[in-house]
Amino acid sequence: MASANISVTRNRKTSFAKKRARAGFYFVIPASIFVLVFFLYPFLNVIWMSFQDWPLLGERSWIGFENYRTAFQDIEFINSVKFTLLYTVIVTPLLFFTALGMALLIKGTSRTTKFFRTIFFLPVVIGFGPASYLWYWFVDSRVGPAPQFLRILGFGDQEEQWLGIMPLALFVVIVMVVWKFAAFQMILLMAAIQGISKEILEAAEIDGAKGFTLLRTITLPLIKRTISLVLILSVAGSLLAFDQFYIITGGNPNGSTLTTVFNIYRQSFLQFQLGYGAALSVLVAIALMLISLIQLRVLRGDDHE
Amino acid sequence: MNKSPLKIYLGMPRKGWFIVCACLSVMVLTPLVASITSSLKTAKEAQQSPPSLIPKSLTFDNYRRLSGVSDGVKHYLLNSFGLAMGTVVGTLILSVLAGYGFARFKFRAKGLVFGLILLMIMIPFQAILTPLYVTFGKLGLTNNLVGLCLIYITYQLPFSIFVMRNSFAEVPVSIEEASVVDGCNPWTTFRRVMLPLAIPGCISVALFAFFASWNEFLAALILMNDQTKYTLPIMLTLLNSKLYGQIDWGLMQSGVIVTMIPSIILFLTLQRYYVQGLMAGGVKA
């Protein structure tokens, strides 16, 4: 603190410290107002709404835990949670191992390496919206290049829409997400790997560690904290998936790819069951809070410890 | 010892490394190139099944036809740009001030505000859209790009404040002390001494705010119901409608490309700050 080192008479020092404290408070006021109005108020509001029957038009009424009771018996909600978990369980390891492989490939500093790094990263910066519409077209059985490519390779006539068949529709979204997002994790893992000191790696090499042994016994343990960060970010992001399913599968075939957030969107904004939508939102918020608490615990340490 | 990374990890010679990276690049770029190609086909050729992999003739016809989509693509470009600029400027002002406050001052409410920001990181914004929709409806902020902008700014704050706090914390205290001794008050110290030193952090914050606003889909989908208020990603939903019994694929891909290009250009020019910001906000936070 700057004020601590400036020795004047005692009195003047306290008033100086007070002034500084007030100045500090002024600096955070504008941001705090935004957070209070556009985050804390709606957050308290969502809890309050979740205890009410709240149609868009017409009377609302306090119904206690009824919305929550409904949720736990609502097949559509339960299925959406199951599907979201399935998606998360599949996409998280796929993303991670792809990203780790890419990070090892481009962790150098040569110009060629940087060039490849930039190319790999391009899909990350384009939004989920355009990326999803791109893939929606890319896999269309009539006009899409992907089915056409398989046709050329001799894999049948590809007449059926991939997005109309269940495991295939999920598979398309997963490939798209890995394509779009792996490089994000790649950059974080790469930075962590670059941070490992050369001496450690060289010492391990002299001891005879090579290839995957080196990776498994030295590198990965040393970047444990970044791995946790990447995994938690990926789990949290997957549990909140919406854009890619809304656009690519529309929740189909037969509502089998309806995610939790997609379900909330339908309850709140298509059927206007705002109270029920709020209750589902609270349940999602609780799940995500638990994950964040794990995150804070895990991330307290540092890499290279 | 100067071994290439892959020698150490996979025992792969440089030529092999290059081939693997080149193959991966092709896989990453194929969907993008294919989309650009189909956007340059004639409308008729883009509808053709099976698709032609190389277009017979190149034309900007699909892009021209984008101006016929509802209010026209220019209108939606302006909506998206205005929204992004508002988000960037708002996020910058709030996070720079707060970041400096957090980095260099002790005050009573510090713990409280900090706790609030942590809570915000934990609660996904998808969870508060239902009450926001109701509140914004009452305030007349639905179908209002300014309202959307306020939400985007708020949800950029936790990340941005962390980035700015870290960049101010890296400035040596002695520089600040010197300015205090020279008689600067906290505001002058901030404006004249600290802010110029934190410019790289500011660029990162601005870049992430731009991407967040430019690419956001769900809130814009829910809060903007009037077609004239759509952003570019929401305009794409219009292209998905089946006009003559089938989707106009060439038109759709030209919309996809128009939405993507600004992000890609911005990333290629300011790449350095993107990665720095990721490190400052993601890893250290």
- Min CA distance, A153 vs chain B (Å)? 14
Q: Specify the pLDDT at position B285.
A: 37
For chain B, what is the mean pLDDT? 88
Alpha-carbon span B199 to B220, nearest angstrom? 30
Kindly identify which residue of chain B lies nearest to residue A278, measuring between CA atoms.
B130
- Evaluate whether residue B120 is within a structural domain: yes
User: Could you tell me if B164 and B26 lie in one domain?
Assistant: no
Q: How many residues does chain B have?
A: 285
Q: Name A300's Cβ contacts closer than 8 Å, sequence gap at least 6.
A: none
User: Could you tell me if B229 and B130 lie in one domain?
Assistant: yes
**Chain A to chain B, count of Cβ pairs less than 8 Å apart?**
312
* Cβ atoms < 10 Å from Cβ of A61: 11
Residue A23 has its nearest CB partner, among B6, B186, B236, at: B186
* pLDDT tens-digit series, residues B59-69: 898 999 888 88
- Evaluate whether residue A235 is within a structural domain: yes
Planar angle of CA A147, A153, A156, nearest 5 degrees: 60
* Tokens 């991407």 sit on residue: B211
Helix (H, G, I), strand (E, B) or coil at A108: coil
In the stretch 42-61 of chain B, residues with CB closer than 8 A to chain A read 46-51, 53
One digit per residue, the tens of pLDDT, for chain A of length 305 reads 444 444 445 555 567 777 777 888 899 999 999 999 999 999 999 999 999 999 888 888 899 899 999 999 999 999 999 999 999 999 999 999 999 999 999 888 888 999 999 999 999 999 999 999 999 999 998 899 999 988 888 887 778 889 988 889 999 999 999 999 999 999 999 989 888 888 888 888 788 777 788 888 888 988 988 898 899 889 999 999 999 999 999 988 888 999 999 999 999 999 999 999 999 999 999 999 998 888 777 766 555 54
**CATH number (domain holding residue B102):** 1.10.3720.10
Alpha-carbon span B34 to B102, nearest angstrom? 48
Alpha-carbon span A85 to A228, nearest angstrom? 18
User: Could you tell me if B91 and B222 lie in one domain?
Assistant: yes
User: Could you tell me if A220 and A269 lie in one domain?
Assistant: yes
Which residues in chain A are closer than 8 Å to B132, comparing Cβ atoms? Answer: 38, 42
- Evaluate whether residue A69 is within a structural domain: no
Q: Give the domain range for residue A15.
A: 2-49
Output the six-digit token pair for A90: 């599949």
**Residue ranges with strand state E in A132-287:** none
User: Could you tell me if A87 and A197 lie in one domain?
Assistant: yes
User: Could you tell me if A23 and A146 lie in one domain?
Assistant: no
* pLDDT tens-digit series, residues A65-89: 999 999 999 999 999 999 999 999 9
**Contact yes or no for B46/B241 (Cβ under 8 A):** no
- Evaluate whether residue B49 is within a structural domain: no
HEC profile for chain B?
Answer: CCCCHHHHHCCCCHHHHHHHHHHHHHHHHHHHHHHHHHHCCCHHHHHCCCCCCCCCCCCCHHHHHHHHCCCCHHHHHHHHHHHHHHHHHHHHHHHHHHHHHHHHCCCCCHHHHHHHHHHHHHCCHHHHHHHHHHHHHHHCCCCCHHHHHHHHHHHHHHHHHHHHHHHHHCCCHHHHHHHHHCCCCHHHHHHHHHHHHCHHHHHHHHHHHHHHHHHCCHHHHHHCCCHHHCCHHHHHHHHCCCCCCCCCHHHHHHHHHHHHHHHHHHHHHHHHHHHHHHHHHHHCC
Confidence of residue B89 (pLDDT cuts 50, 70, 90): very high
**Contact yes or no for A277/A268 (Cβ under 8 A):** yes
User: Could you tell me if A89 and A180 lie in one domain?
Assistant: yes
Q: What are the beta bridge partners of residue A61? A: A53
Q: Specify the pLDDT at position B50.
A: 84
Alpha-carbon span B224 to B246, nearest angstrom? 26
User: Could you tell me if A8 and A139 lie in one domain?
Assistant: no
Q: Per-residue DSSP letters for A220-248?
A: HHHTHHHHHHHHHHHHHHHHT--HHIIII
Alpha-carbon span A68 to A280, nearest angstrom? 8
Q: Specify the pLDDT at position B282.
A: 58
Asked if omega into B186 is within 30° of 0 (cis), the reply is no
Interface touch A6/B107, C-beta < 8 Å: no
Four-CA torsion B81, B86, B87, B91, nearest 10 degrees:
150
Count of the separate structural domains present in chain B = 2
- Evaluate whether residue B73 is within a structural domain: yes
Q: Specify the pLDDT at position B244.
A: 58
In terms of Cβ atoms closer than 10 Å to its own Cβ (0-12, 13-18, 19+), residue A4 is exposed
In the stretch 170-199 of chain A, residues with CB closer than 8 A to chain B read 179, 183, 187-188, 191-192
Kindly identify which residue of chain A lies nearest to residue B132, measuring between CA atoms.
A42
**Contact yes or no for B108/A32 (Cβ under 8 A):** no
Q: Specify the pLDDT at position A12.
A: 58
Kindly state the DSSP code that residue A165 receives in the 8-state scheme.
S
Interface touch B260/A137, C-beta < 8 Å: no
Which residues in chain A are closer than 8 Å to B102, comparing Cβ atoms? Answer: 28
- Evaluate whether residue A57 is within a structural domain: no
User: Could you tell me if B21 and B141 lie in one domain?
Assistant: no
- Evaluate whether residue A65 is within a structural domain: no
Q: Name A228's Cβ contacts closer than 8 Å, sequence gap at least 6.
A: A295, A298, A299
In terms of Cβ atoms closer than 10 Å to its own Cβ (0-12, 13-18, 19+), residue B242 is exposed
- Evaluate whether residue A56 is within a structural domain: no
Q: Specify the pLDDT at position A14.
A: 67
A128 in reach of chain B (CB within 8 A): yes
B230 in reach of chain A (CB within 8 A): no
Q: Name A222's Cβ contacts closer than 8 Å, sequence gap at least 6.
A: A196, A200, A303, A304
User: Could you tell me if B19 and B144 lie in one domain?
Assistant: no
Kindly state the DSSP code that residue A55 receives in the 8-state scheme.
B
User: Could you tell me if A42 and A149 lie in one domain?
Assistant: no
**Contact yes or no for A27/B100 (Cβ under 8 A):** yes
User: Could you tell me if A293 and A243 lie in one domain?
Assistant: yes
Pick A248 or B9 by higher pLDDT: A248
User: Could you tell me if B179 and B245 lie in one domain?
Assistant: yes
- Evaluate whether residue B41 is within a structural domain: no
* pLDDT tens-digit series, residues B245-282: 688 999 999 999 999 999 999 999 998 888 888 877 65
User: Could you tell me if A89 and A40 lie in one domain?
Assistant: no
* pLDDT tens-digit series, residues A246-293: 999 998 888 899 999 999 999 999 999 999 999 999 999 999 999 888
- Min CA distance, B125 vs chain A (Å)? 8
- Evaluate whether residue B44 is within a structural domain: no
- Evaluate whether residue B58 is within a structural domain: no
Helix (H) or strand (E) holding A188: helix A166-194
Task: From A220, A218, A238, select the one nearest A228 (Cα to Cα).
Answer: A220
User: Could you tell me if A44 and A101 lie in one domain?
Assistant: no
User: Could you tell me if B101 and B144 lie in one domain?
Assistant: yes
Q: Is the pLDDT of residue B131 over 70?
A: yes
Alpha-carbon span A119 to B5, nearest angstrom? 19
**CATH number (domain holding residue A225):** 1.10.3720.10
Helix (H, G, I), strand (E, B) or coil at A263: helix
Count of the separate structural domains present in chain A = 2
User: Could you tell me if A9 and A157 lie in one domain?
Assistant: no
- Evaluate whether residue B118 is within a structural domain: yes
Interface touch B151/A38, C-beta < 8 Å: yes
User: Could you tell me if B12 and B114 lie in one domain?
Assistant: no
Q: Give me the helix-helix angle, A111-125 and B249-278, nearest 10°.
A: 120
B144 in reach of chain A (CB within 8 A): no
- Evaluate whether residue B39 is within a structural domain: no
User: Could you tell me if A97 and A44 lie in one domain?
Assistant: no
Q: Specify the pLDDT at position A298.
A: 75
User: Could you tell me if A240 and A102 lie in one domain?
Assistant: yes
Helix (H, G, I), strand (E, B) or coil at A164: helix
Q: Give the domain range for residue B80.
A: 64-283
- Min CA distance, B233 vs chain A (Å)? 5
- Evaluate whether residue A305 is within a structural domain: no
User: Could you tell me if B206 and B279 lie in one domain?
Assistant: yes
Q: Is the pLDDT of residue B240 over 90?
A: no
Alpha-carbon span A290 to A288, nearest angstrom? 5
Which of A32, A49, A66 lies at the terminal end of a domain, its last residue? A49
What ipTM was assigned to the predicted interfaces of this complex?
0.91
**Contact yes or no for A299/A228 (Cβ under 8 A):** yes
Q: Specify the pLDDT at position A225.
A: 86
Q: Specify the pLDDT at position A80.
A: 95
